[in-house]
DNA sequence: CATGAATGAGTGTTCATTCAT
DNA sequence: CATGAATGAACACTCATTCAT
């Protein structure tokens, strides 16, 4: 990732050389961002000490402030770094998917679990929920870069199912939330109450997701006799 | 000294009159609890300053500690006042409910919305999710005083429905989460991303809940042909 | 002690009637002073809470301030209350004592232990040592009312012994401290380090005093060959 | 990573060079320790404000906590710096001492006076007496770090004297207190009543100590005919 | 006289941020 | 570029003192 450091030009590079600074922005900050993600997810924003982030990244506290002008900026950078990129691939996969819509939906839930839910990244939605109010700008950013593409992806799946007669006609706006809510609740639960000992009913995420999927299918099933969702879609 | 004490009215105004004390303990703390709820919901537990709570209630910092021995106790009192204190009545209502189990479930969702979801109290679940990790004692408290009774209440409804043949047999542990997750997600959404302008799809909570209810019913329906939840219940 | 309360003149007694206040100064304050002595001795001045003093005396915090304008004044009153009186009797006893001077000295040490050292009053010297610097006026008072008569009493005993040829001639000024220092050190030790668990060598006060007495006698003995104190008395 | 690490100069300037850290830890803290000693002695432990210590040392409050993790640790450091740290040297001196035991004891008293008694450090025993009860952890520390080694040192001197036939056999436990009590009483007196004007009999410490030493010697003298301490030693 | 609710200044400690080297 | 020593604002909680009743 870094080019080999050439001692020959060290003396020549002006301290404020923008190019050099640019390069750095990719180098050392990477370790800082990783450390920050770990700690923010683990302890939350307020309880994370910048010194510990720096230490975990192997640099000094002063160095951290060389790259991020404040703890808040660090937080924003962490969120930016860890969320957007995946949707492109995800959309492609959906595009190429050839199975039934229920299978496609199951595939979505499963890959969410594998790529987000079961990983450290699952801490980010929780992070955003917790801090959104104190970082409205970040919240807006998250809406545009994460919530919107995510919702769009799910909406596409649902629409495909309806179009192919595999799902009954539904109100897509709320249908999306029906898929999202259980996933996001699970992510948040994992990183808050679920991480505190003494839980009455220890969730097994895989089972939780299976049950939620069954539930979804019975709500979406074109053959189901239930009244659910059988209302004229309010928005396309 | 001021005026001769008239024994006749001793019962009404004796300095240690328990009733008077009761009134006091209910009077000023009431304003403190209201102020605390506002601020906790608005800024979170850690970011709320006890002094500001006091100021908003119109008393001094010292007075607050006269009624609540610590910030954590204040928080617990807020939770008791707004959530756990209601389970008794709620349980009674359920006990006396005579309609069908679907109606009972709908009644639960509706009263949750009216009493919690639509009020400032809906900020509390979000708050707990955000702060649980950093305040384990509060998390334990919340588990015992809120999550447990809440889950038990829902489980009772589900069991009644199954027993009366109105719901298909389900795994109750996950069934409870199927009811809870959408509610809690809504509460959290309201107090985080939902409270920041510029949302792509503005949820209308009532509609969201209606759709979620339909969904639930189709998943639970005894007559439905879908595969959902049709697994042997794992716990009674 | 108090005159019976005549309801007839209650209305007439001006609230600030000094006589009435005087009366009170003997009545309720007695309990307050006792409670304060206990607590000051037990926990020191700073660590004693006026509220606890009041509670132990069975009155409210406000009432305490009715009698003592501040915590410091309470402290002064406690010290004043508990120190002077005993010397008159003590001096008389010494006056009448007819045994040998060593026996008289032993008698002094023993009665100090019985009347002061073994009682709560032993806390007062410790109190004074601890707080003298912050209450210079009290320190002066203590010097005049306690240290001075106490020293004089001991000096009288020593002089008697020298006059009767039972003690060798000594410098009385320092001789007095030779008697006092072990006693006062014991009192302070009892109320500080001695009251904390885990002492290496648990003192038994009676044994400590016996050994100190032997020591004193060997230093004072007219027959002893040692060089001790055999210098021309420098004062008195 | 920044520059190739040259093993050759690691010992001199590595950022984590323990020697450099050592120097730092001795530099500024020295001023803090001096300021703390002054203030603790002057006002006591509880009444001393860490901010004032910092201010007097010319640094900020935060800096103080950079070097001492708490006020109690600061106090312990003061005690170590001024008292317990000296026992090693003191023990060595005793070890090498070749004169008679009475001379050795006199040497001990004199060096106590020069190194502790006559210096600000003499305020520490008084301080401990005053605050021990309210700071049990400090009391324990003081017992282990000061009282115990101090007693052991004196006990060694006494045992040597008895072993060499220069002192008569004594109960060492109380013998130690016979040496200690006058010293500690002097220290306390200096910092409490002795520091308030208007003393009846102004002690001259050097004379006080000389007299106490004579007294001790006559009590310990092997040739003395007195009864003092001539009891079978209770502990070896 | 007596109460006890109310006050608010004061304390030890933390931690994001700065800056001289 | 990197460091880490220094900063100082901030915060929960205490408690002597006041005063309306």
Question: Concatenated DSSP letters for D35-93?
Answer: HHHHHHHHH-TTT--HHHHHHHHTS-HHHHHHH-SSHHHHHHHHHHHHTGGGHHHHHHH
**Residue C228 lies inside a defined structural domain of this protein:** no
Q: Is the pLDDT of residue B215 over 90?
A: no
**Residue C2 lies inside a defined structural domain of this protein:** no
**Pair of tokens at residue C95:** 């006056």
Range of the domain at D35: 7-79
Do B49 and B70 belong to one domain? Answer: yes
Do D108 and D209 belong to one domain? Answer: yes
* CATH code of A125's domain: 1.10.357
- Return the closest-CA partner of residue C126 out of D126, D141, D138: D126
Residue C121 has a CB neighbour count (10 Å cut-off) of 16
Instruction: Identify the residue among A5, A55, A58, A59 best suited for mutation to test binding to D, counting D beta carbons within 10 A and taking the highest.
Output: A5
Chain D: touching chains (3 or more CB pairs < 8 Å): A, C
Could you say which nucleotides of strand F lie within 7 A of any protein CB atom? 1-21
Smallest Cβ distance to C184: which of D133, D185, D229?
D185
- Tell me the mean pLDDT in the region B135-148: 91
Taking the Cβ of residue D199 and every Cβ of chain C, the question of whether any pair is shorter than 8 Å is answered with yes
**Residue B52 lies inside a defined structural domain of this protein:** yes
Which residues of chain A lie closer than 8 angstroms to D3, CB-CB?
A: 5, 7, 10
Taking the Cβ of residue D135 and every Cβ of chain C, the question of whether any pair is shorter than 8 Å is answered with no
Do B51 and B142 belong to one domain? Answer: no
Q: CB pairs under 8 A, 24+ apart, for D27-32?
A: D28/D57, D28/D59, D28/D63, D28/D67, D29/D67, D29/D68, D29/D77, D31/D57, D31/D58, D31/D59, D32/D57, D32/D59, D32/D64, D32/D67, D32/D68, D32/D74
Residue of A nearest to B131 (CA): A192
CA separation, residue B141 to residues A203, B39, B48, B147 (Å): 19, 20, 19, 9
Taking the Cβ of residue D3 and every Cβ of chain A, the question of whether any pair is shorter than 8 Å is answered with yes
Each residue's pLDDT tens digit, A78-127:
988 887 778 888 899 999 999 999 999 999 999 999 999 999 889 999 88
Do D37 and D133 belong to one domain? Answer: no
**Residue D139 lies inside a defined structural domain of this protein:** yes
Taking the Cβ of residue D181 and every Cβ of chain C, the question of whether any pair is shorter than 8 Å is answered with yes
C-alpha D117/C-alpha D103 separation (Å) is 19
CA separation, residue B5 to residues B16, C13, C60, C180 (Å): 15, 17, 20, 57
Residues 200-219 of chain D with CB under 8 A from chain C are 200-201, 203, 207-208, 211-212, 214-219
Residue A83 has a CB neighbour count (10 Å cut-off) of 21
Last residue of a domain, one of C54, C79, C104: C79
Residues 38-57 of chain A with CB under 8 A from chain B are 42-44, 46-47
- Return the closest-CA partner of residue D115 out of D141, D153, D144, D143: D153
The pLDDT value given to residue B134? 84
Contact status, residue A3 vs residue A13, Cβ threshold 8 Å: no
Contact status, residue B109 vs residue B209, Cβ threshold 8 Å: yes
CA separation, residue A170 to residues A228, B204, D77 (Å): 9, 16, 73
**Pair of tokens at residue D38:** 């002054």
Do A65 and A95 belong to one domain? Answer: no
Determine whether the interchain pair A178/B215 forms a contact, defined as Cβ–Cβ distance below 8 Å.
Answer: yes
Smallest Cβ distance to D174: which of C130, C140, C208?
C208
Residue of D nearest to A3 (CA): D1
> Closest nucleotide to residue C59 (Cα to C1')?
E2
Do C109 and C163 belong to one domain? Answer: yes
Last residue of a domain, one of A79, A104, A135: A79
C-alpha D23/C-alpha D20 separation (Å) is 5
Provide the number of structural domains found in chain B: 2
- Tell me the mean pLDDT in the region A191-199: 73
**Residue A234 lies inside a defined structural domain of this protein:** no
The pLDDT value given to residue C159? 95
What is the per-residue DSSP string for C154-207? Answer: HHHHHHHHHHTTSB----HHHHHHHHHHHHHHHHHHHTTGGGSS--SS---HHH
- Tell me the mean pLDDT in the region B134-161: 92
The 3-state DSSP class for residue A17 equals coil
Contact status, residue C43 vs residue D132, Cβ threshold 8 Å: no
E11 C1' closest Cα residue: D49
Each residue's pLDDT tens digit, A13-65:
344 444 444 444 455 688 899 999 999 998 888 889 999 999 999 999 999 99
**Pair of tokens at residue C164:** 């009767």
Last residue of a domain, one of B30, B52, B79: B79
- Return the closest-CA partner of residue D130 out of D62, D33, D44: D44
Residue of B nearest to A41 (CA): B133
**Residue D228 lies inside a defined structural domain of this protein:** no
Determine whether the interchain pair A186/B181 forms a contact, defined as Cβ–Cβ distance below 8 Å.
Answer: yes
Mean model confidence pLDDT for chain C: 81
Residue whose pair of structure tokens reads 């479930």 in the numeric block? B105
Do B49 and B119 belong to one domain? Answer: no
> Closest nucleotide to residue A64 (Cα to C1')?
F2
* CATH code of C68's domain: 1.10.10.60
Q: Is the pLDDT of residue B233 over 60?
A: no
Each residue's pLDDT tens digit, C155-207:
999 999 999 999 989 899 899 999 999 999 999 988 887 777 665 557 888 89
Q: Is the pLDDT of residue A187 over 80?
A: yes
C-alpha A132/C-alpha B196 separation (Å) is 8
Do A168 and A107 belong to one domain? Answer: yes
D and C touch with 3+ CB pairs <8 Å, answer yes
**Residue A231 lies inside a defined structural domain of this protein:** no
The pLDDT value given to residue D85? 87
Taking the Cβ of residue A62 and every Cβ of chain D, the question of whether any pair is shorter than 8 Å is answered with no
Give this prediction's pTM.
0.79
Length of chain D: 236
Do C134 and C44 belong to one domain? Answer: no
Rounded CA–C1' distance between B182 and E7, in angstroms: 46
The pLDDT value given to residue B64? 94
Digit-by-digit pLDDT tens for chain D (236 residues) are: 343 333 333 333 333 333 333 334 455 688 999 999 999 999 999 989 999 999 999 999 999 999 999 999 999 999 999 998 889 999 999 999 999 999 999 999 999 999 999 999 999 999 998 888 888 889 999 999 999 999 999 999 999 999 999 998 989 989 999 999 999 999 998 898 777 765 555 788 889 999 999 888 888 776 654 444 434 444 43
> Taking chain D, what is the end-to-end CA distance rounded to the nearest angstrom?
64
The size of the A-B interface in CB pairs under 8 A is 215
**Residue C1 lies inside a defined structural domain of this protein:** no
Taking the Cβ of residue B224 and every Cβ of chain A, the question of whether any pair is shorter than 8 Å is answered with yes
Which residues of chain A lie closer than 8 angstroms to D4, CB-CB?
A: 7
% of chain B exceeding 70 in pLDDT:
79
Do B90 and B67 belong to one domain? Answer: no
The 3-state DSSP class for residue C44 equals coil
Do A125 and A73 belong to one domain? Answer: no
C-alpha B162/C-alpha B104 separation (Å) is 13
Each residue's pLDDT tens digit, B58-83:
999 999 999 999 999 999 999 999 99
Residues 139-168 of chain D with CB under 8 A from chain C are 139-140, 142-143, 147-148, 151
- Tell me the mean pLDDT in the region C130-153: 89
Residue of D nearest to C221 (CA): D226
The pLDDT value given to residue B223? 61
Rounded CA–C1' distance between A209 and E13, in angstroms: 45
| Residue B28's pLDDT band (cuts 50, 70, 90) | low
Distance (Å) from the C-alpha of residue C225 to the closest C-alpha of chain D? 6
> Closest nucleotide to residue D63 (Cα to C1')?
F6
C-alpha B46/C-alpha C117 separation (Å) is 52
The pLDDT value given to residue D15? 39
Do C110 and C71 belong to one domain? Answer: no
Rounded CA–C1' distance between B68 and F20, in angstroms: 23
């Amino acid at each position: 990732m870094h080019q080999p450091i050439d001692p020959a030009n060290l003396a020549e590079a002006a301290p404020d050389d923008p190019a050099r600074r640019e390069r750095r922005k990719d180098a050392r900050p990477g370790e800082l961002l990783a450390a920050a993600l770990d700690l923010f997810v683990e302890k939350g924003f307020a309880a994370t000490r910048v010194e510990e982030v720096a230490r975990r990244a192997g640099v000094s506290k002063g160095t951290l402030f060389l790259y991020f002008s404040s703890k808040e900026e660090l937080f924003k950078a962490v969120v930016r770094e860890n969320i957007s990129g995946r949707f492109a691939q995800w959309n492609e996969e959906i595009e190429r998917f050839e199975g039934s819509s229920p299978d496609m939906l199951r595939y979505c839930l499963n890959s969410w679990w594998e790529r987000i839910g079961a990983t450290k990244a699952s801490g980010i939605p929780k992070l955003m929920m917790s801090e959104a109010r104190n970082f409205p700008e970040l919240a807006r950013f998250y809406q545009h870069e994460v919530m919107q593409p995510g919702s769009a992806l799910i909406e596409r799946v649902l629409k495909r199912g309806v179009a192919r007669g595999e799902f009954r006609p539904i109100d897509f706006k709320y249908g999306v939330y029906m898929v999202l809510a259980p996933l996001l609740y699970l992510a948040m639960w994992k990183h808050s109450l679920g991480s505190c000992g003494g839980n009455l009913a220890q969730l097994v995420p895989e089972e939780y997701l299976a049950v939620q999927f069954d539930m979804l299918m019975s709500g979406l099933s074109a053959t189901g006799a239930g009244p659910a969702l059988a209302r004229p879609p309010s928005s396309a």
